[in-house]
């Protein structure tokens, strides 16, 4: 019997617990700084001056009931067999999905959801990449939005309302959970260089690129913007878009431009918008598409409206180099905000609840609330230049006017910019 | 060893193996259904039946259904033969059998209904998993009891592996179900889970599968084991290094680098047990026994399985290296490794053993032509599946590392996935034919006995 006992005790018990100790427990017990139980994360925050800073912060536990429930559904539906939740300092993952994982971010994850297989993309940083409308359309039918997708449909996340699909409680919970992913790192996406490009280099105007662009368009854009470019894709027909409707390109109306109100945008404007996406809305960012694909699809969407060939873009404004923000600048910005009556629409505190806010409609007859600056989610982009550009040229097709002629000096413009940005300053752990 | 010493409870073994074949057809079938969704993503769109709910059934079905059920059944045959003693408390064998299989059925139902613990290879709901633990404890008790009453002082290496596998897995199942889901959140949880997963494959499937081939290869080839010293090296190096490899599932993660390095080194060291063990098997057939590879289906499949085990395990060791891991992790390259080892190696070992055991417990010869066909379908299916998975993993991994857009790389995978499904179908039909062939031969023999 002795042999059998040796095998059972030494090999069976001994080595089992030895490995458990060395590989599982010891790393946990070591000093938090070196070990894996640290709760510290580097977080990008908006400062009271309106710029971005990195701080060290304690990872926050999940308190939101929706997110907790959403995570349970994520486990139940087996999303994690197809989606990992960790990004490695290798293989260009930083460029694809954002900053490399930090131990502290996982401090409250039980069970962990690292994952071992990526049938779909990593989701560690997917929060804020898309607006809720995108997730709604995607859960209902991934192939309507991404025709090549192999992700299952999750039709039981929905109920019907007025002939269209809207998320039910479960669907909202999963969406809340997915949107919370990566948020331990705060506003990292606002500082993500690959998404927030300034503008593209000049585009090759080859004739064949519109042809190629058509293929890109039907594989990536048609589900929302429609094969004919009229904004009537299958997704907005099936699902209720609550934030913004996909643009009808035949109208020739574009919001984000360096050109004056009424003019078509520059190609480089479109390049910037398509690369960054329109935050908070269904419009995705396309920074992972090759540059050629992006240019090609721009040439193609320009063919939907005759405006591009009939009225060439007017001269763009020049956005000077922004100054460093300061408390004085922000205080001055507050005065400009009052004087220029931004509050009539955006509200005194910038919450989008000004006296005029209830009545506004865009050119397509949809209700359009003025931006709530305190949320810190900017359609036009998170950089000072983006905000500056927006009130200088206005957002065509919306009530947001151009204020280009109202400024005595460009400094007033920057003051206003930093004031607007400072409204979304993160409370608590500031430097 | 070959002589019927009357110590085996044939009916119990038969029932275990029949249940095993039930899973052996079903679990790969689930894999086929899953694989088809990559080309036809909408055909499985039910709330309770879609990719995310079916995948754990496939993985757990192969591990705990196919391999484990057949292995536990074969234990009931092998241990009395090796110890010269009946199983301890023989009546409990059948209890263990039913607890095991009913727990699996219930557990799979639970997963489909949404009771998923969220830890890979550890999804079965706690209640079902407790059933598995109870059943394992019974078998452990039976085996140790039989060993205590054994006739011969020396313990053959197949028994070592059996003892170790059972002890390890009793511990691991308790750990995986009672501890892992509830303690140490975050990165530590991932580290512990890495250990758990590799305890399942390394401390259950591997020693279990090796026990089978150590017993049945010499028995079927009628040749003594090549070297007992090699088997000693193989056993102890496996027992020492295997527990340490788990973290190689999560390399380049925030788990401390030194822990990862230990896992990588241990993974490389596994080459020692793998190569010595395989050398031992091939050595056993030296000296003119290779003919058995042609004529005997047990030997044919065991040797084929040993080759797959060799390839798959060596692949596993090298893919733990950071350089190869960067492009290949998260892709089908890793899926190739798991199919090569778990299916190509261990499941084929237990199937091979069935060709040996079934005629001895149910009587009657099986149809050799059908056996030939099914062996070839299994071998061709799994080999081409592994080939295609390795290629597609490398294609996708290098494309991603070169900066390709993600969905473009998914599109590139679709033709490969289609072929993979076909290889899976081939394999599964092969397995079903093995089951049908054996079952019919048993029925015929019973009928013949009845007629007499």
Give the model confidence (pLDDT) of A283-323 as tens digits.
Answer: 999 999 999 999 999 999 999 999 999 999 999 999 999 99
B322 CA to chain A: closest CA distance, Å?
10
The pLDDT score that the predictor gives to residue A430 is: 39
- Checking if the pLDDT of A390 tops 70, the result is yes
Contact list in A for residue B254 (CB cut-off 8 A) is 36, 86, 101-103, 106
Residue B140: closest CA among chain A residues belongs to which residue?
A8
Judged by CB atoms closer than 8 Å, whether chains meet at A8 and B144 is answered as yes
How does pLDDT run across A33-66, given as a tens digit for each residue? 656 668 899 999 999 999 999 999 999 888 888 8
- Checking if the pLDDT of B2 tops 50, the result is no
Residue B180: closest CA among chain A residues belongs to which residue?
A111
The pLDDT score that the predictor gives to residue A309 is: 92
Distance CA A241, CA A278 (A): 14
| DSSP output for A183-199 | GGGBTGGGG-TTTS-S-
Judged by CB atoms closer than 8 Å, whether chains meet at B263 and A149 is answered as no
Q: Is B388 exposed, middle or buried (0-12, 13-18, 19+ CB in 10 A)?
A: buried
Among candidates A22, A110, A143 on the partner chain, residue whose Cβ is nearest the Cβ of B185: A110
Contact list in B for residue A11 (CB cut-off 8 A) is 160, 164, 167-168, 235-236, 239
B18 CA to chain A: closest CA distance, Å?
30
Judged by CB atoms closer than 8 Å, whether chains meet at A109 and B189 is answered as yes
How does pLDDT run across A182-199, given as a tens digit for each residue? 999 999 999 999 999 876
The proportion of chain B whose per-residue pLDDT surpasses 90, expressed as a percent, equals: 90
How does pLDDT run across A16-32, given as a tens digit for each residue? 888 888 888 888 877 66
The pLDDT score that the predictor gives to residue B95 is: 97
B377 CA to chain A: closest CA distance, Å?
28
Q: Which of A140-149, B114-123, B253-262 shows the lowest per-residue confidence on average (mean pLDDT)?
A: B253-262
Among candidates B116, B155, B180 on the partner chain, residue whose Cβ is nearest the Cβ of A76: B116
Judged by CB atoms closer than 8 Å, whether chains meet at B51 and A78 is answered as yes
The pLDDT score that the predictor gives to residue A1 is: 46
Contact list in A for residue B407 (CB cut-off 8 A) is 146, 148-149
How large is the average pLDDT for residues B367-394? 97
Q: Closest by alpha carbon to A426, among A196, A188, A128? A: A188
More confident of the two residues A410 and A76: A76
Q: Output the six-digit token pair for A271.
A: 């390049």
Judged by CB atoms closer than 8 Å, whether chains meet at A148 and B407 is answered as yes
Judged by CB atoms closer than 8 Å, whether chains meet at A28 and B184 is answered as yes
How does pLDDT run across B285-299, given as a tens digit for each residue? 987 888 888 889 999
The pLDDT score that the predictor gives to residue A31 is: 64
B57 CA to chain A: closest CA distance, Å?
11
Using omega within 30 degrees of 0 as the cis cutoff, is the peptide bond preceding A111 cis?
yes
Domain B10-319: which CATH number of 3.40.190.10, 3.30.70.560, 1.20.210.10, 1.10.275.10: 1.20.210.10
Q: Residue A40's beta-bridge partner residues?
A: A58
At A206, the pLDDT band (50, 70, 90 cuts) reads low
B54 CA to chain A: closest CA distance, Å?
9
Judged by CB atoms closer than 8 Å, whether chains meet at B252 and A88 is answered as yes
Judged by CB atoms closer than 8 Å, whether chains meet at B41 and A111 is answered as no
The pLDDT score that the predictor gives to residue A35 is: 61
Distance CA B28, CA B381 (A): 12
Distance CA A195, CA A98 (A): 10
- B254, B259, B389: which to substitute to probe chain A, counting the most A Cβ within 10 Å? B254
Judged by CB atoms closer than 8 Å, whether chains meet at B188 and A28 is answered as yes
How large is the average pLDDT for residues A379-396? 96
Among candidates A15, A23, A106 on the partner chain, residue whose Cβ is nearest the Cβ of B263: A23
Contact list in B for residue A37 (CB cut-off 8 A) is 184, 186-188
Judged by CB atoms closer than 8 Å, whether chains meet at B406 and A80 is answered as no
Size of interface A-B (CB pairs under 8 A): 234
Among candidates A23, A81, A290 on the partner chain, residue whose Cβ is nearest the Cβ of B246: A23
Provide the pairing of β-strand A164-167 with A52-58. unpaired
How large is the average pLDDT for residues B94-118? 97
Judged by CB atoms closer than 8 Å, whether chains meet at A152 and B45 is answered as yes
| DSSP output for A146-186 | STT--PPP-GGGEEEETTEEEE-HHHHHHHHHHHHTTGGGB
- Checking if the pLDDT of A208 tops 70, the result is no
**With contact defined as beta carbons under 8 Å apart, do A151 and A82 qualify?**
yes
What is the helix, strand, coil percentage profile of chain A, to 5? 45, 5, 50
Average pLDDT score, chain A = 92
B286 CA to chain A: closest CA distance, Å?
29
B403: left (phi over 0), alpha (psi -120 to 50) or beta: left
Judged by CB atoms closer than 8 Å, whether chains meet at A149 and B189 is answered as no
Contact list in A for residue B251 (CB cut-off 8 A) is 88
Judged by CB atoms closer than 8 Å, whether chains meet at B411 and A148 is answered as yes
A158 CA to chain B: closest CA distance, Å?
12
How large is the average pLDDT for residues B78-94? 94
Q: Residue A54's beta-bridge partner residues?
A: A44
Judged by CB atoms closer than 8 Å, whether chains meet at A150 and B38 is answered as yes
Among candidates A16, A30, A152 on the partner chain, residue whose Cβ is nearest the Cβ of B168: A16
Contact list in A for residue B186 (CB cut-off 8 A) is 36-37, 103, 106-110, 112
- B38, B159, B187: which to substitute to probe chain A, counting the most A Cβ within 10 Å? B187
Among candidates B191, B329, B411 on the partner chain, residue whose Cβ is nearest the Cβ of A23: B191
**With contact defined as beta carbons under 8 Å apart, do A20 and A161 qualify?**
no
How large is the average pLDDT for residues B207-230? 95
Residues in contact with A379: Cβ distance below 8 Å, sequence separation at least 6, in sequence order: A255, A256, A278, A279, A280, A281, A371
**With contact defined as beta carbons under 8 Å apart, do A417 and A380 qualify?**
no
- B186, B196, B336, B394: which to substitute to probe chain A, counting the most A Cβ within 10 Å? B186
Extents of the domains making up chain B: 10-319
Q: Which of A342-356, A400-414, B86-100 shows the lowest per-residue confidence on average (mean pLDDT)?
A: A400-414
Among candidates B52, B116, B326 on the partner chain, residue whose Cβ is nearest the Cβ of A152: B52
Average pLDDT score, chain B = 94
Contact list in B for residue A10 (CB cut-off 8 A) is 239
At B13, the pLDDT band (50, 70, 90 cuts) reads very high
Among candidates A76, A118, A152 on the partner chain, residue whose Cβ is nearest the Cβ of B51: A152
Among candidates A22, A81, A101 on the partner chain, residue whose Cβ is nearest the Cβ of B254: A101
B42 CA to chain A: closest CA distance, Å?
7
Among candidates A13, A19, A80 on the partner chain, residue whose Cβ is nearest the Cβ of B195: A19
How does pLDDT run across A325-381, given as a tens digit for each residue? 999 999 999 999 999 999 999 999 999 999 999 999 999 999 999 999 999 999 999
- A18, A94, A105, A114: which to substitute to probe chain B, counting the most B Cβ within 10 Å? A114
| DSSP output for B243-262 | GG-GGGGGTTSSS-HHHHHH
Among candidates B42, B243, B335 on the partner chain, residue whose Cβ is nearest the Cβ of A16: B243
More confident of the two residues A84 and A39: A84
The angle subtended at Cα A324 by Cα A321 and Cα A327, nearest 5°, is 140
Contact list in A for residue B189 (CB cut-off 8 A) is 106, 109-112
**With contact defined as beta carbons under 8 Å apart, do A314 and A263 qualify?**
yes
Token pair 């694989």 in the structure block, residue: B35
| DSSP output for B96-144 | HHHHHHHHHHHHHHHHHHT---SSTT--S-HHHHHHHHHHHHHHHHHHH
Contact list in B for residue A96 (CB cut-off 8 A) is 400, 403, 406
Judged by CB atoms closer than 8 Å, whether chains meet at B41 and A142 is answered as yes
How large is the average pLDDT for residues B193-201? 95
């Amino acid at each position: 019997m002795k042999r059998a006992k040796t095998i059972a005790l030494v090999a069976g018990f001994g080595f089992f617990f030895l490995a458990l100790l060395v590989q599982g427990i010891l790393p946990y017990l070591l000093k938090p700084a070196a070990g894996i139980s640290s709760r510290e994360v580097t977080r990008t925050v908006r400062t009271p001056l309106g710029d971005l800073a990195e701080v060290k912060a304690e990872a926050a536990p999940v308190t939101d009931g929706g997110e907790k429930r959403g995570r349970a559904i994520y486990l139940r539906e087996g999303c994690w067999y197809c989606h990992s939740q960790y990004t490695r300092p290798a293989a260009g993952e930083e460029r694809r999905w954002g900053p490399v994982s930090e131990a502290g971010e996982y401090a409250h994850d039980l069970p962990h959801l690292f994952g071992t297989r990526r049938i779909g993309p990593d989701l560690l940083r997917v929060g804020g990449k898309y607006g809720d409308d995108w997730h709604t359309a995607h859960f209902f039918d991934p192939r309507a939005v991404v025709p090549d997708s192999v992700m299952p449909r999750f039709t039981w996340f929905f109920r019907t309302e007025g002939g269209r699909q809207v998320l039910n409680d479960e669907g909202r919970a999963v969406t809340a959970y997915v949107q919370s992913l990566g948020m331990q790192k705060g506003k990292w996406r606002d500082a993500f260089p690959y998404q927030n490009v300034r503008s593209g280099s000049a585009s090759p105007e080859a004739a064949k690129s519109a042809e190629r662009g058509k293929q890109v368009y039907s594989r990536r854009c048609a589900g929302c913007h429609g094969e004919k470019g009229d904004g009537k894709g299958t997704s907005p027909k099936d699902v209720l878009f609550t934030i913004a409707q996909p643009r009808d390109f035949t109208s020739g109306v574009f919001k984000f431009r360096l050109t004056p109100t009424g003019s078509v945008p520059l190609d480089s404007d479109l390049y910037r918008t398509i690369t960054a996406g329109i935050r908070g809305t269904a419009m995705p960012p396309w920074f992972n598409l090759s540059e050629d694909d992006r240019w090609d699809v721009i040439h193609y969407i320009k063919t939907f409206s005759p405006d591009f060939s009939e009225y060439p873009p007017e001269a763009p404004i020049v956005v000077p180099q922004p100054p460093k923000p300061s408390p004085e600048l922000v205080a001055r910005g507050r005065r400009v905000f009052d004087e220029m009556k931004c509050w009539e629409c955006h509200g005194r505190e910038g919450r989008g609840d000004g006296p005029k806010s209830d009545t506004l409609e865009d050119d397509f007859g949809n209700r359009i609330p003025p931006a709530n600056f305190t949320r810190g989610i900017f359609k036009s982009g998170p950089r000072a230049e983006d905000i500056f550009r927006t009130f200088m040229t206005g957002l065509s097709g919306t009530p947001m006017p151009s204020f280009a002629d109202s400024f005595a000096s460009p400094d007033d413009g920057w003051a206003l910019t930093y004031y607007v940005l400072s409204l979304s300053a993160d409370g608590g752990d500031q430097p | 060893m070959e002589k019927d010493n009357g110590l085996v409870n044939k009916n119990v073994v038969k029932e275990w193996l029949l249940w095993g074949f039930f899973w052996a057809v079903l679990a790969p079938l689930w894999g086929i259904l899953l694989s088809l969704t990559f080309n036809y993503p909408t055909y499985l769109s039910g709330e309770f039946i879609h990719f995310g709910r079916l995948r754990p059934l496939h993985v757990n079905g192969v591990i705990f259904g196919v391999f484990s059920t057949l292995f536990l059944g074969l234990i009931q045959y092998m241990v009395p033969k090796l110890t010269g003693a009946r199983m301890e408390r023989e009546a409990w064998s059948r209890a263990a059998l039913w607890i095991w299989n009913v727990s699996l059925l219930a557990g799979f139902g639970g997963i489909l209904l949404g009771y998923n613990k969220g830890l890979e290879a550890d999804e079965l709901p706690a209640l079902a998993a407790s059933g598995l633990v109870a059943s394992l404890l019974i078998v452990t008790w039976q085996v140790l009891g039989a060993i205590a009453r054994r006739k011969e002082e020396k313990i053959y290496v197949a028994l070592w592996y059996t003892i170790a596998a059972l002890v390890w897995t009793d511990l691991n199942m308790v750990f995986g179900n009672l501890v892992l889901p509830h303690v140490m959140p975050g990165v530590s949880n991932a580290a512990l889970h890495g250990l758990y997963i590799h305890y399942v494959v390394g401390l259950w499937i591997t020693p279990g599968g090796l026990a089978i081939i150590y017993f049945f290869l010499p028995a079927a080839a009628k040749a003594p084991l090549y070297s007992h010293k090699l088997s000693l090296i193989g056993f102890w190096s496996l027992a020492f290094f295997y527990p340490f490899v788990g973290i190689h599932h999560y390399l380049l993660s925030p788990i401390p680098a030194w822990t990862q390095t230990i896992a990588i080194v241990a993974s490389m060291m596994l080459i020692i047990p793998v190569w010595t063990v395989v050398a031992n098997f091939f050595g056993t057939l030296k000296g003119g026994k290779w003919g058995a590879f042609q004529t005997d289906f047990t030997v044919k499949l065991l040797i084929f399985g040993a080759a797959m085990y060799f390839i798959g395990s060596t692949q596993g060791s090298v893919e733990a290296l950071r350089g190869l891991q960067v492009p290949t992790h998260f892709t089908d390259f890793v899926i190739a490794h798991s199919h090569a080892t778990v299916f190509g190696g261990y499941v084929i070992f237990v199937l091979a053993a069935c060709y040996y055991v079934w005629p001895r417990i149910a009587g009657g010869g099986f149809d050799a032509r059908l056996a030939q066909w099914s062996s070839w379908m299994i071998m061709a299916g799994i080999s081409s599946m592994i080939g295609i998975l390795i290629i597609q993993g490398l294609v996708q991994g290098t494309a991603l590392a070169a900066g390709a857009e993600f969905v473009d790389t998914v599109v590139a995978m679709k033709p490969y996935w289609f072929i993979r499904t076909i290889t899976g179908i081939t394999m599964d039909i092969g397995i079903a034919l093995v089951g049908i062939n054996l079952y019919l031969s048993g029925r015929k023999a019973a009928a013949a006995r009845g007629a007499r």
